[in-house]
Structure 1
Amino acid sequence: MKQLLRKALVLGVAALSLGVQARADKGMWLLNELTKENIAQMKELGFRLPIDSLYSLDKPSVANSVVIFGRGCTGVTVSDKGLVFTNHHCGFDAIQSVSAVDHDYLRDGFVSQQFSEELPIEGLTISYLSSIKDVTKEILAQLKKPKDELDRLAQIRKICDALEIAEGRRLKSDHKRIEVRPYYANNKYYLLTYDVFTDIRLVFAPPGSVGKFGGDTDNWMWPRQTGDFSVFRVYAGKDNAPADYSKDNVPYKPKYHATVSTEGYQKGDYAMTIGFPGSTSRYIPSFAIQNRMADQNAPRIEVRGAKQELWWAAMQADQATRIKYASKYARSSNYWKNSIGMNKALVKLDVLGAKRAEEQAFNQWVAQGGKATKAYQGLLSEMEQAYKGQAALMRDYTYLTEAYSGMEAAALAYGLKDIRYKDMAENGSKIKAGIEDVYKNYVPSLDERVLPAMLDILRQRVSSERVAALFSQIDRDYKGDTKAYAKALFAKSIVPYKDKVLAAIEREDFSHVLAEDPAYKLALSLREIILPLGKELNRYNEAISRGNRLYFAGRQQMNPTKPMPSDANSTMRLSYGSIKPYSPADATEYDYFTTPRGILEKNADAANPDYVVASSFLDLLKKKDWGRWADKSGELHV
């Protein structure tokens, strides 16, 4: 264990760039679209490399080392043998998938000493961007005069699908991913091609008290001392091409691998990130932000908070439950904490005030522009009316969809609906394996406790006429007692119990059995509310989508010399800036790095489980034997 903890300290320093406080120039820039202004700013801040060393179509560059890890995280290749660093929270699902009570890598960590000890992770992929092509003209040339904005989007989607299929046929590879993505609020389009590697193996994971130190308390916060990293390796066939798992595969030799710096950083140093950020909304108007805060974030915070409280209590009471729900909890709480922080920051920074000033300037420009700005007349007013019309619907929709995701038995039941008895003879083994996989991280007794909490929130928060049918049976048969309803559902349903489901799918009348199951009926009741509500929301999407596209185009026309980075959309971006302290409040300044002292100080808060640290790790910290990893003052940066 001590050896593992020492490795955690060393690798934590090596992954220092993940925890440094950098103040970035605003924007997440496409590397193939960097302007002279961008490059001049970067050089002024201290960038010294040739620009084509970051991104190039003609030679290996830093961009070739950056990967999409799994379903959307970022990683970086750091060796010529396919070693990839990513965040601990990004590798969390993978670590959980190979953990069990008798080898709890989530809690204790994992380290391989040689290639043969690395653990294959089923279903995990790592993708390298191999090409990017502007297809805007090609798409717009095929676009017929649309009836409205939704028709325009539908036509474009059809054209994009055809482009993706054609490119797939040309490349003829099962290990390519091809997608056309919109940029600049649907004003520009790129066709992206990725090499997708499917043989990925776990190399190193720090103990949970390192990788998740600070937990939900420190998530999205600073200062923090979490060792938020994990290490994987990409394997390829002997031809160095992507290949399905085989013991004969060899470590991948990448086009380029990044060098890990151990020199550290100083205040004012140039800093940058290259990665695949999920989404941003830089250009939405003030009324869209109001909608996000009140009608999406607030319901999400309430529903997930209630669900997570019950999950957490069960996870603390039982080790097996903790392992099963660790990944679910982490995914849920990440966006929950993000929503909390977003709402606080939007108020604190008066983002609504800044947006309203932008809108006022835009309207003045439109009013003075004559024919040149005719397309934008009344645009913001139309968007405001659409967002106002959506508000109550969006609030109900968010409560319903968030609650539905917390009712696991209902979701499981609906997922079984496509299983047919006639398919069992040919695909029975595959179907059963899928069921085993779905149920391996599910605890019926916990779900039974969560269900009434979700229903109670829906009764309190969603408009009564919308959920009247949902609660009619509960009110009639159980006098409104949601706990009694949940108890009866779990007593009568086969869905929460894997063995019962595996037996039921062998029956010819399985479809009828499922149709009469109370968990399936609950799923249908919820979906009969949610799906029509989604269609109601779509009535406003035409004005919103058209408005966003034209508002962005209008602002570009209004400020033709001002670079405007496209919103993030899970494609490769560059952000740059410099290392600086952070001042979140009056008379408060946070340094750009943290030290082990912060770990010891937080660990003294015995009441907070997020700050629990293994005693052997504490002993190492207290010795302060940092070796060559110490800075000039003798301190270790974490």
Structure 2
Amino acid sequence: MRRLILATLLGTAASAAMAEEGMWLPGQTPAIAEQLKQAGLALDARTLGDLNRPPLTAIASLGGCSAAFLSPQGLVATNHHCVYGSIQYNSKPGQDYLTDGFLAKTLGDELPAAPGSRIYVIEDLRDVTAAMVKGAEKLTGRARYDRLEANRKALIAACEQQPSRRCDVRPYFGGQTYFLQQQLEIQDVRLVYAPAGGVGNFGGETDNWMWPRHTGDFGFYRAYVAPNGASAPYAKENVPFRPKAFLKIADKGVEEGDFVMVAGFPGVTFRHRTAAEARFAFETLTPLQQRLLNDYSDRIQSAVAGNQAATIKYASILKGADNYKKKYIGELAGAEAMGLVAKKEADEAAFRAWVKADPKRDAAFGAAIADMDRLVAEQNAAELADARRGLLNRAQLFGAARLAYRWAKEREKPDAAREPGFQDRDRAFTVQRLTAIERRYDAGVDRAILDHALAEYRKLPAEERHKSFDAAYPAVADRLYAETGLADTKTRLGWLDQPASAFEASNDPFIRLAVATYAEDRAGEDKAKARAGDMQKARATYMAGRLAYAAAQGRTLYPDANGSLRFTYGKVSGKARDGLAWTAFTTAEGLAAKHTGKGEFDAPDRMLELIRAKDYGRYAAPSLGTLPVDYLSTVDITNGNSGSSTLNARGEFVGLAFDGTLDGVVADWMFNPVVNRTIHVDSRFMLWTMDKVDGATRLLDEMGVAR
């Protein structure tokens, strides 16, 4: 069976897959080499996935967004919304970079990014399945979970013996296969340039996930290292990082029908989930999540109204909430429009009939299918309750108290025995996470959020609520914000070095609440781990069946996205809908037509002057007769691909992927090539804005852009 999985994962029978569909592993590019060539790739497709060659050596991750190096001095291009947290962190009344934008005139003017910011440079992605499952073959439940976790930690620890490396092991096909991803971790990240909010966030939430779009969603970081080249935290004496490769800016932009490709780190997709999981997601969980996010957004907006300082503090949090709530709306509408659940159920029924039709297949996969049915039902119930229980952590000081106390309890164990996220390798992230609260917290807003969370939490049946929380909360409710010391950053960070006994003796009301709820939190976690162990065993076998079923039909499957490096390709293309045609490009004139001078549609005066004068210089597209702003393509992306560089057939930079369209976000569950489109900001608009609007000539020279 193991040989079957590897043959299916890396084999050459990929011709049945749609050209536009697929978040392929780099190692799969030889398998689709002929498809790539026919689609228009001008590079050698057999070596495209080589992590030691460009363009993949120029691809980077921000730990949630994708990026790429565009100069030999560590200049990194990504989306405006990916650097938004750093813009917010460096803003304050009288220094509003969110509205005005930011441009460092010199290297010395570049600002430290928000705490916890990282640039990860991909170095290796290798199969470690045998080492991961060693000793777990006959185990079930919690024992299986613990063995897999111990193996994972050992692999990561061995990888991270190399200095400045961040490594992770991720499952593919439900744990049928595991790959270790090794990245160079750059700790000193600085904000270099972000256009005004009226460019980088033009259209705001109104245009989010929509077409036509006129958003200049781009920004720049720079990676810095110590003078000796080693990765190091921020220090004035640090110097720009010199990457192994960087992307060349294309001399010519793309036109409709052109081949384009994207390499990045897509977050999570669910295309291989069962029909029962799909039904639960679209009939129960997603509608609840969408409503909860809508209420959360409304509560924040109400609480910060009229308070500029609070508005700036919560800008990044609010943007994230609004982005996801609208995505959920699109997923629900898209699933209904395409009859997703019915299609999943039909496909599931066909697969199960195929298994039942052969005694050998039934013996191999039948028990796992039955186990999946039981475990999915249990997991669905747990997820529904967790959706409301988890709201309590939106209160930042309560979340900080729980995090700090967990650190104290985990420090009582040897490092290798601690939970992921609480090992020595994770301390810097935790410190930075707790530090960032100082510029993203307001007591009045936090209290309003907690009140809303409590109202939702109390809708849970008594047996699904935290008994410890319900018992402890009334005693501290009125004192939480008046008597806590956690609002002070120095005090908050100081708790990370305190023993558990200090927490247990504390009178700080948030600390007391964290201590009271700890045991019950861990009991729930233990149940989840036992279920996860059984789920991994069942799903891995179930997916072996799905892979065999696909192979029997002449199809090759790519694994669901899981945050690891992937490659996707397609073409620049608009689309036609009933009574409506979408052109492939939007233009500067369209941006000016949308401009109202108010709210989300307030482009900079300088930009509007240039558009009225049609002063586009060399950046105009001859085929359009004007300056393109954004364009559509058929490449297959999801969250996490934000900031991914878009490359032409020669591997040259032609823009940044930044969004999908609302009717296509359901592609996380099922891809539809007729509907699915990705939105990119055109490199010509980026360069024009940098040159003509903001005067970022230093950066253009650095990237080798002729002017």
Alignment TM-score > 0.5, same fold = yes
Q: Which of 540, 548, 565 is the aligned partner of 1:557? A: 548
Alpha-carbon distance between aligned partners in 1 of 2:473 and 2:486, rounded to the nearest angstrom: 23
Is residue 19–residue 35 contact of structure 2 (8 Å, CA) maintained in 1?
Answer: no
1:156-167 alignment, distance < 5 Å: 156-167=148-159
Alpha-carbon distance between aligned partners in 1 of 2:150 and 2:353, rounded to the nearest angstrom: 37
Change (3 A) 1:418 1:511: farther
Is residue 396–residue 462 contact of structure 1 (8 Å, CA) maintained in 2?
Answer: yes
Tell me by how many angstroms 1:277 deviates: 0.8
Q: Which of 29, 33, 36 is the aligned partner of 1:34? A: 29
Change (3 A) 1:316 1:208: farther
SS state at 1:133 partner: strand
TM (normalized to structure 1)? 0.82
Partner of 2:703: none
Amino acid corresponding to residue 24 of structure 2 in structure 1: W
Unaligned runs of 5+ in 1: 1-22, 424-429, 478-484
Q: Deviations over 1:367-410 (max 9, x none)?
A: 12222441212543442333334434321211110x21322342
Alpha-carbon distance between aligned partners in 1 of 2:105 and 2:346, rounded to the nearest angstrom: 58
Is residue 117–residue 189 contact of structure 2 (8 Å, CA) maintained in 1?
Answer: yes
Q: Which of 257, 273, 279 is the aligned partner of 1:284? A: 273
Amino acid corresponding to residue 43 of structure 2 in structure 1: L
Alpha-carbon distance between aligned partners in 1 of 2:559 and 2:590, rounded to the nearest angstrom: 37
Residue 125 (structure 2) pairs with residue 126 (structure 1): no
Residue 586 (structure 2) pairs with residue 594 (structure 1): yes
> Is 210-219 or 282-291 further displaced after alignment?
210-219
Q: Which of 174, 196, 199 is the aligned partner of 1:185? A: 174
Alpha-carbon distance between aligned partners in 2 of 1:74 and 1:332, rounded to the nearest angstrom: 20
SS state at 2:319 partner: helix
Residue 383 (structure 2) pairs with residue 394 (structure 1): yes
Tell me by how many angstroms 1:188 deviates: 1.5
Q: Which of 311, 323, 340 is the aligned partner of 2:300? A: 311
Alpha-carbon distance between aligned partners in 1 of 2:393 and 2:191, rounded to the nearest angstrom: 29
Partner of 1:3: none
Partner of 1:577: 570
Report the identity percentage: 27
Q: Deviations over 1:286-315 (max 9, x none)?
A: 111122234432232222222211222344
Tell me by how many angstroms 1:565 deviates: 0.7
Alpha-carbon distance between aligned partners in 2 of 1:548 and 1:415, rounded to the nearest angstrom: 31
Partner of 1:444: 443
Partner of 1:16: none
Residue 488 (structure 2) pairs with residue 498 (structure 1): yes
> Is 357-366 or 112-121 further displaced after alignment?
112-121
Is residue 296–residue 321 contact of structure 2 (8 Å, CA) maintained in 1?
Answer: no
Is residue 596–residue 637 contact of structure 1 (8 Å, CA) maintained in 2?
Answer: yes
Q: Which of 453, 460, 471 is the aligned partner of 1:462? A: 460
Amino acid corresponding to residue 41 of structure 1 in structure 2: Q
Partner of 1:66: 59
Is residue 324–residue 440 contact of structure 1 (8 Å, CA) maintained in 2?
Answer: yes
Tell me by how many angstroms 1:454 deviates: 1.9
SS state at 1:185 partner: helix
Alpha-carbon distance between aligned partners in 2 of 1:296 and 1:445, rounded to the nearest angstrom: 30
Partner of 1:404: 392
Partner of 1:12: none
Residue 246 (structure 2) pairs with residue 257 (structure 1): yes
Alpha-carbon distance between aligned partners in 1 of 2:141 and 2:67, rounded to the nearest angstrom: 37
Is residue 279–residue 567 contact of structure 1 (8 Å, CA) maintained in 2?
Answer: yes
TM (normalized to structure 2)? 0.75
Partner of 2:309: 320
Is residue 573–residue 584 contact of structure 2 (8 Å, CA) maintained in 1?
Answer: yes
Partner of 1:25: 20
Alpha-carbon distance between aligned partners in 1 of 2:77 and 2:522, rounded to the nearest angstrom: 40
Partner of 1:98: 90
Q: Which of 80, 88, 105 is the aligned partner of 2:72? A: 80
Partner of 2:539: 548
Alpha-carbon distance between aligned partners in 2 of 1:327 and 1:137, rounded to the nearest angstrom: 42
Alpha-carbon distance between aligned partners in 1 of 2:239 and 2:547, rounded to the nearest angstrom: 49
1:596-611 alignment, distance < 5 Å: 596-604=588-596, 609-611=599-601
Aligned-residue Cα RMSD (Å) equals 3.5
1:352-367 alignment, distance < 5 Å: 352-367=341-356
1:140-179 alignment, distance < 5 Å: 140=133, 142-148=134-140, 150-169=142-161, 171=162, 173=163, 175-179=164-168
Alpha-carbon distance between aligned partners in 1 of 2:404 and 2:173, rounded to the nearest angstrom: 40
> Is 328-337 or 568-577 further displaced after alignment?
328-337
Tell me by how many angstroms 1:619 deviates: 3.6
Partner of 1:137: 130
Partner of 1:8: none
Alpha-carbon distance between aligned partners in 1 of 2:444 and 2:165, rounded to the nearest angstrom: 42
Change (3 A) 1:293 1:109: same
Partner of 1:50: 44
Change (3 A) 1:302 1:531: farther
Q: Deviations over 1:419-450 (max 9, x none)?
A: 99xx9xxxxxx999997653332100112222
Amino acid corresponding to residue 555 of structure 2 in structure 1: K
Alpha-carbon distance between aligned partners in 1 of 2:467 and 2:148, rounded to the nearest angstrom: 39
Amino acid corresponding to residue 41 of structure 2 in structure 1: F
Change (3 A) 1:417 1:514: farther
Partner of 1:634: 625
